[in-house]
């Protein structure tokens, strides 16, 4: 069984670039709903249901964003009620929900992207174009989990030494500042050590060679071709304004033309394309197991 992480990094990057780009710039509610559902499904299939706190935070953020927009934006003709003499409109509420769905879907797309695209894949992806830029990206991706792990380690050490207690707000602030100071020093020292290590190994003194373990396979070509084909159809629908949707001053009616319906179907396939690929590989794997 081939996992999504095993696809060529170019294929993965192109897919996420296309599907996330459309989700960020098209405010059609059907497209946003498909984008949100597809991003959540993909993330849970990759990472499972771990980290409940982060999902609860995302849900709270979704609700807050949806509520905040009508509190500050009073455009729209359908007034639901008045709050402090300010009208709360249906259009502003629906626009807030749509904006929240767009933001959450993009966030989960990036979370899935970070799970799949490791530092070696980023180095492969940008190495041929800009070695220095790819090195910076790969090192940044590597330092983020290291920084988080070291922060937790220092924080536990500070607590074990009795330097601050969690039930005291002032001690918590002082302890947090102390940990931040320690981590700043650690990051700078680690950067100097890395630079000295790279210099000692002769980085930048000779002609750079390029090696990669990633190859284009049949599944990569099929996945990339499907992504580009769906991208072309959906882009055509966007160009002819089949996905235009207005929120102000009144909610616009969804144009259920042939092109708009085709665009919805296309984006649904595009949004769930990795999920379908994972399901197909699972079925294929179980079929082979049943034959043994």
φ and ψ of 282, to 5 deg: -65, -45
Dist. CA 97–CA 61, nearest whole Å: 11
Q: Residue 50 corresponds to which tokens in the numbers above?
A: 């771990």
* pLDDT over 80 at 15, yes or no: yes
Average pLDDT over residues 1-30: 83
Of the residues 175, 200, 225, the one at which a domain ends? 200
**Dihedral angle of Cα 281, 282, 285, 290, to the nearest 10 degrees:** -140
- 146 and 283, same structural domain? no
User: Could you please report the per-residue DSSP string of 213-232?
Assistant: -----HHHHHHHHHHHHHHH
**H, E, C per residue of 148-167:** HHHHHHHHHHHHHCCCCCCC
Number of domains in the chain: 2
The answer to whether residue 206 is domain-embedded is no
Q: Residue 194 corresponds to which tokens in the numbers above?
A: 């890395």
Of the residues 141, 168, 200, the one at which a domain ends? 200
Dist. CA 64–CA 150, nearest whole Å: 32
The answer to whether residue 205 is domain-embedded is no
Contact status, residue 227 vs residue 15, Cβ threshold 8 Å: yes
Q: Residue 9 corresponds to which tokens in the numbers above?
A: 């990094």
The answer to whether residue 277 is domain-embedded is yes
- 15 and 150, same structural domain? no
- 271 and 146, same structural domain? no
- 135 and 44, same structural domain? no
Domain of 168 in residue numbering reads as 131-200
- 287 and 147, same structural domain? no
Q: What is the structure's pLDDT at 1?
A: 44
Check: pTM over 0.85? Answer yes or no: no
Helix, strand, coil shares of the chain, percent, nearest 5, are 75, 5, 25
Give, as one character, the DSSP assignment of residue 208. Answer: P
Of the residues 200, 230, 257, the one at which a domain ends? 200
pLDDT band at 212, cuts 50/70/90?
low
Average pLDDT over residues 35-50: 85
* pLDDT over 60 at 161, yes or no: yes
User: Could you please report the per-residue DSSP string of 72-132?
Assistant: H----S-EEEEETTEEEEHHHHHHHHHHHHHHHHHHHHHHHHHHH--HHHHHHHHHTT-HH
More confident residue, 141 or 228: 228
* pLDDT over 80 at 165, yes or no: no
- 108 and 18, same structural domain? yes
* pLDDT over 80 at 162, yes or no: no
- 228 and 107, same structural domain? yes
- 8 and 100, same structural domain? yes
- 237 and 169, same structural domain? no
The answer to whether residue 160 is domain-embedded is yes
* pLDDT over 50 at 197, yes or no: yes
Average pLDDT over residues 157-169: 73
- 138 and 110, same structural domain? no
Q: What is the structure's pLDDT at 37?
A: 92
Burial 235-251 (b: 16+ CB within 10 A, else e): eebbeeebbebebeeeb
* pLDDT over 70 at 184, yes or no: yes
The answer to whether residue 208 is domain-embedded is no
The answer to whether residue 207 is domain-embedded is no
- 259 and 160, same structural domain? no
* pLDDT over 80 at 133, yes or no: no
- 233 and 149, same structural domain? no
Give, as one character, the DSSP assignment of residue 247. Answer: -
The answer to whether residue 111 is domain-embedded is yes
The answer to whether residue 194 is domain-embedded is yes
């Amino acid at each position: 069984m081939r996992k999504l992480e095993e696809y060529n990094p170019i294929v993965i990057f192109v897919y996420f670039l296309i599907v996330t780009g459309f989700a960020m710039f098209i405010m059609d509610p059907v497209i946003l709903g498909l984008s949100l559902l597809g991003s959540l499904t993909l993330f849970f299939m990759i990472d499972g249901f771990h980290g409940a706190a982060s999902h609860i935070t995302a849900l709270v953020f979704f609700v807050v964003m949806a509520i905040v927009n009508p509190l500050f934006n009073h455009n729209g003709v359908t007034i639901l009620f008045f709050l402090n003499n300010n009208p709360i409109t249906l259009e502003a509420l629906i626009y807030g929900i749509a904006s929240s769905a767009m933001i959450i879907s993009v966030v989960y797309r990036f979370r899935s992207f970070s799970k799949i695209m490791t530092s070696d894949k980023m180095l492969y992806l940008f190495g041929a174009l800009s070695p220095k830029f790819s090195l910076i990206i790969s090192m940044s991706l590597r330092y983020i989990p290291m920084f988080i792990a070291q922060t937790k380690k220092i924080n536990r050490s500070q607590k074990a030494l009795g330097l601050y207690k969690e039930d005291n707000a002032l001690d918590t602030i002082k302890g947090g500042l102390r940990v931040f100071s320690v981590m700043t020093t650690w990051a700078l020292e680690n950067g100097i050590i890395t630079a000295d290590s790279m210099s000692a190994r002769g980085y930048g003194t000779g002609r750079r060679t390029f090696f990669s373990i990633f190859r284009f396979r049949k599944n990569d070509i099929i996945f990339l071709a499907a992504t580009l084909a769906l991208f072309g159809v959906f882009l055509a629908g966007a160009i002819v304004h089949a996905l235009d949707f207005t929120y102000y001053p009144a909610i616009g009616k969804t144009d259920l033309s042939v092109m708009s319906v085709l665009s919805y179907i296309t984006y649904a396939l595009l949004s769930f394309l990795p999920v379908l690929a994972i399901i197909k590989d699972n079925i294929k794997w179980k079929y082979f197991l049943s034959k043994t």
